[in-house]
């Protein structure tokens, strides 16, 4: 998967992801979020509109990153999930844990 990090605000980062979030890419995803949080941006938006596939390994990575962000005083939000990602979020009930926004800007501006 490809991850482009946008430094949206002093403490907010938007990670624009594409490809697959699975057992192959989950470690890289976790490392990228950890670096962003350690670098001073604990409010993390994960933009998933062009992630064509996510599975339980990807869900596990999102949960791990949610904890990492919260431990640093921030949070993790989902933006623009693709149909496949939305299906997996709903099946796993994680749509109730991971706040989802229609796009990255909405997730960022909601932090004010």
Partner 1 sequence: MSATVGGHSLDLACPPDDVTAVHTFLASVWDAEPTVASEDRMALELALVELTSNVIEHGAGGNGVSCSLRLDVGADAVEADLTDDGVPVPIDPSDARLPDALAESGRGLALVQMVVDDLRYERVADRNRWTVRRSLTRG
Helices (H), 1-112: 26-38, 56-71, 83-91, 104-109
Q: How far is the CB of 71 from partner 1 (least distance, A)?
A: 12
Size, binding site for partner 1 by CB under 8 A = 25
Cα gap 25→30, rounded to integer Å: 9
Phi, psi of 85 (to 5 degrees): -65, -40
9, 55, 75, 105: which one contacts partner 1 (CB under 8 A)? 55
Can you give the binding site for partner 1, defined by CB under 8 A? 20, 22-24, 53, 55-57, 59-61, 63-64, 66-67, 83-84, 87-88, 91-94, 96-97
């Amino acid at each position: 998967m490809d991850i482009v990090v946008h430094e949206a605000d002093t403490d907010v980062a938007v990670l624009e992801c594409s490809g697959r979030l699975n057992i192959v890419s989950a470690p890289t995803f976790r490392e990228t979020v950890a670096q962003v949080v350690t670098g001073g941006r604990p409010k993390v938006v994960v933009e998933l509109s062009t992630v064509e596939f996510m599975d339980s390994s990807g869900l596990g990575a999102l949960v791990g990153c949610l904890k990492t962000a919260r431990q640093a005083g921030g949070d993790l939000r989902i933006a623009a999930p693709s149909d496949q990602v939305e299906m997996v979020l709903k099946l796993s009930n994680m749509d109730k844990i991971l706040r989802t926004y229609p796009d990255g800007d909405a997730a960022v501006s909601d932090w004010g």
